[in-house]
Every structure is written in C-alpha cells, then in structure tokens.
Amino acid sequence: MNSRKETFLNLQAQTNETPYLIDVDRAEGIYIWDKSGKKYTDMIAGVAVNNIGHRHPKVIAAIKTQLDKHLHVMVYGEYIQDSQLALAKNLAAILPDSLSCSYIVNSGTEANEGAIKLAKRVTGRQQVISCKAAYHGSTHGSLSVGGNESKKIPFQPLLPQIDFIEFNNIASLELITEKTACVIIETIQGDAGLRQPTPEFITTLREKCTATGTLLIFDEVQVGMGRTGKFFAFEHYNIIPDILTLGKALGGGMPIGAFISSYEMMQTLTNNPVLGHITTFGGHPVICAAANACIEVLNEENWIAEADRKGKLLANILQQSNKVKEIRRIGLFFAIEMESTEVVAQVVEKCMDKGIIGFWFLSCPDAFRLSPPLSITEKEIKEVGKIILSCIESI
C-alpha cells in the first residue's frame, strides 16, 4: 500500500472498512481523474450532489467573484449579505408561495434537524413520525428519525417519542394524531432503494396532516434540484409540504443545506427563546454564491426537462440483461436490483475497473445506485450504458 493510502486510512476517520480509495487529482463535467491519470465517469455525481456536473464554469466564476468581496463576516442572521439575500430570493422564486422563507445551514442533516425543531416550536407538540427504511442523515436527531434500526442501536438512547409509519401503507397513517408535531418523510425514499409514493398514499398523508394540525416535512436533500425531472420531487404529486429540506445538489458542489417554510412559521424561531436556532457558518457567502449559480444553471439549461428522457434511455440499455431483476427509476435516479448483495458488489467492482463509478444503498443491499449528473449527454449515456451492461452480463 502506498504512503498516501496509508495516511488516508490511518489519519482520516473512516466510514467503512472498504473505501473506494480513488486518489483524486481533478474533476470536470461528468468525469474524475485519479493521480495516475485514469479517467472515471461519475455515475453517482458525488451521491446526487453534482447535478450540474463537476466545476461548472458559472459556479467557479461565482465563487471567485465572492472571494474578492469577503468570506465569513458574522454568524447567520445578523448581517445583510448579497449572496445570502440573492439565494433567499432565488429559492422563493422557484418554490410555492407558502415556502418563501429560507434558513440556510451547512448540510442536509442540519436542515432536517432544524425542520424538526421548527415543527416542535410551531405546534408545541413532541411526537415526531417518520417512515420505516427512511434516511435523513446521521446526526443525533436525524438518526433518531432514520428507519434503519441496525444503524441506530449502538448510539441509543436517541430522541424520545419517535414513531414510524410504513411507506405506502395508508392504514399506518392512523398513527398521526392531534399529538403529532410533524411527519418527516422523503418525498421519494432514496436509501431504501428508490421507493416512490403512490398518489393515494401521499394525498392521504397530506390530508391527515392537515386534519390533525400536524406539519408535513418533505426531505428532498437527495431528490431535489432537478434529480427527478422536476425542480422538486413534490411537484410530481401536486402536494405541498409545510416545511421543505434541501442539501446536496443545492450548492453546485459546495456544502449547504436549507429548511424552508412560511414567514409566519419561521418567525417562531426568533423568540421564546431568542436564537431558537443558530448557526455560525450557515449561509456562508461563498457557498451561497455557488448555490445561486447552480440555480441559474438549472433555470437556463434544459437538463431538468430532459432528465426523464435520458433516464429512459439508460434504463432501456440496462434492461437488456435478464440478470437485472428490476429497475426502479425516476428522472436520472436509479436503483438497479440484482440477484443478491454479492452480485451487486461484483457489478460495482467491475464497473470501477472499467472506469465507471456506481454506489450502494445502505438499506437496500441487493441494488446499486446510479445518479449521474443531469448534464450527461445522450452519447455519454449510450457509451456508459453499454459498459455497465457488459459488466452485469459478465457476472
């Protein structure tokens, strides 16, 4: 093992025992190059972060412009800063009127933490309901509403009064009562292996929350910002949440999160107590500048509108193999179900050898994920699809 890998493994805290260990040199568009010069096609986009590709020129230009002005000047919420203000306006412009007030934080899991706090503050209630197999992040509160019990056991006790419904099980919605502060749910479940809600389930969920005064939180950290073929996944279902959380792709490759609600609800965090929610680096001006550029790119390009067509093209290629049990897809987000966890591992490893980066689902080990940049071209999809298909067929 070379010294760089030894340093990485020994001095950087590790998340698992078998990291990919790609020694990154640079990235551009849909590609990553390692130190040896090997070129990889990034078919996961940093796990749905680089929706507009790596180092989009407009993002780089926006970052450089902000660098010449100022970096951090004050904790969030005290000073008026150009890029923060612009981001709030840009988000309000692409969201429904009831989601007009943004709180910018540093990550998706922080956004979910803030959203849960907001729901408790607004309602005065304590019970929080989530979904089985859900993933909302790994900080203490977000882990508490996660649905993968094996990930939670070593860290107990977690937050109290958390209950779980079953995704797409309408009968389980009876758990929602006048004592429930909020239901936090991925609009489309990601880590569970890409599970889409039925229209009946998500409509009944909205109606139940409205009837009981329960706030509905949609976690779109992974599926927001064009990934599904709409700017936001909830647009597919004609349902509007009370609180929306974003992260990942919002920053155009930079770290960011946001929880968004109405002005009236957000104002509850300003008193009793003052500083009901606070962040030092949330809304960092450089990050907000990158996010503004990302929104601009998505507004100007036709990538979101083309996501479904491109997704169908890749799905049609992969479906040629009878070794693929099922392809679950929306837009350019895929779960490719195989015969077993072992087969998934072989496919991902063979793709890596061929310079194609795929990834796993924690809570759905029999499938591998694909979430390429929305900027991927039809020609690139055909080329990559043939390579992935050959890797599957070689198992």
pLDDT digits (tens, 9 = 90+) for 59-97: 999 999 999 999 999 999 999 999 999 999 999 999 999
SS3 content of the chain, % helix, strand, coil (to 5): 40, 20, 40
Give the H/E segment covering residue 129: strand 127-131
Write the DSSP symbol of residue 166.
P
pTM: 0.97
Write the DSSP symbol of residue 234.
G
Same structural domain, 170 and 258 = yes
Domain that holds residue 64: 58-300
- Site of tokens 């990291």: 19
Number of helices (H) and strands (E) in the chain: give both, helices first: 13, 15
Same structural domain, 126 and 250 = yes
Tell me, what's the pLDDT at 195?
Answer: 98
| Residue 326, domain CATH | 3.90.1150.10
Domain count, the chain: 2
Residue 100 Cα to chain centre, angstroms: 20
Tell me, what's the pLDDT at 126?
Answer: 98
Same structural domain, 63 and 103 = yes
Same structural domain, 351 and 267 = no
Tell me, what's the pLDDT at 362?
Answer: 85
Of 300, 318, 351, the position where a domain reaches its end is: 300
| Encoded tokens for 307 | 């996501």
Q: Side chain identity at 358, as an amino acid letter?
A: G
pLDDT, one tens digit per residue, over 284-338 is 999 999 999 999 999 999 999 999 999 999 999 999 999 999 999 999 999 999 9
Count the neighbouring beta carbons within 10 Å of the beta carbon of residue 183.
29
| Encoded tokens for 229 | 């073929």
Same structural domain, 194 and 270 = yes
Task: Show the low-confidence residues of the chain (pLDDT under 70).
Answer: 1
All residues at 6 or more sequence positions from 120 whose CB lies less than 8 Å from its CB, including other chains = 126, 128, 181, 182
All residues at 6 or more sequence positions from 265 whose CB lies less than 8 Å from its CB, including other chains = 101, 118, 122, 215, 242, 243
